[in-house]
Amino acid sequence: MITGGRILIIWNPVIIDLQPEDISQQVIHCRVTNKSSQLSFYITFTYGLYTVVNRRSMWEKLFELGKPMIMPWLILGDFNCVKSPTEKQLGVPPTWYELKDFTDCCLSLGLHDAPTTGCFYTWYSNSDRNPM
């Protein structure tokens, strides 16, 4: 357990064997095995901190984990940033400085977004003065 942790993982141990392999403030990296199929893969849960500088340790951790990766790998969570200005609506558009680390991480590790369905924009600050 990490003090100030923001990630909670819940799974059914009858179906899934989940073994945490690396735990840090913004990342929990686990090896997962489906008990019926014996299919194994890695899954990394993220919760990015609120500033570009504070998120840097998350990107570094993902680089560290991803470089030797040879098994299927799923990364999910809240990165607290976007990769493109088109992923944000209303509020102040993100700057290149805010986009760069996420984009570089995805390019360096060969990561791709999973296809989505439903609402594209999933969060609203509920502020009439400065919606984000």
| pLDDT, tens only, 66-124 | 988 999 999 999 998 988 888 887 778 888 999 999 999 999 999 998 888 887 767 66
Q: Is residue 90 part of a domain?
A: yes
Q: Environment class of residue 117 by beta-carbon count within 10 Å: exposed (0-12), middle (13-18) or buried (19+)?
A: exposed
Q: Is residue 29 part of a domain?
A: yes
Torsion of CA 95, 100, 106, 108, to 10 degrees: 160
- Which pLDDT belongs to residue 5? 73
Query: For 119, what's the count of Cα atoms within 13 Å in the CB-facing half-sphere?
Result: 6
Q: By residue range, what is the domain housing residue 35?
A: 16-109
CATH code, domain with 70:
3.60.10.10
In Å, how far are 49, 53, 55, 91 from 27, measured between CA atoms?
11, 16, 11, 28
Q: Is residue 8 part of a domain?
A: no
Band of residue 130 on the pLDDT scale cut at 50, 70, 90: low
Q: Is residue 6 part of a domain?
A: no
Supply the pTM of this predicted model: 0.85
- Which pLDDT belongs to residue 92? 84
pLDDT tens column, 9-64? 999 999 999 999 999 999 999 999 999 999 999 999 999 999 999 999 999 999 99
pLDDT tens column, 1-19? 566 678 999 999 999 999 9
Pairing verdict, β 73-78 and 16-23:
unpaired
| Alpha-helical regions (H) of the chain | 52-66, 96-109
- Residue in the block written with tokens 């989940």: 18
Q: Is residue 71 part of a domain?
A: yes
Tally of domains within the chain: 1
Q: CA 115 to CA 92: how far, in whole Å?
A: 26
Whether residue 126 is predicted with pLDDT greater than 80 in this model: the reply is: no
Q: Is residue 114 part of a domain?
A: no
Q: Is residue 28 part of a domain?
A: yes
Element (H, E) at 23: strand 16-23
Top pLDDT among 132 and 73 is at 73
Q: Is residue 7 part of a domain?
A: no
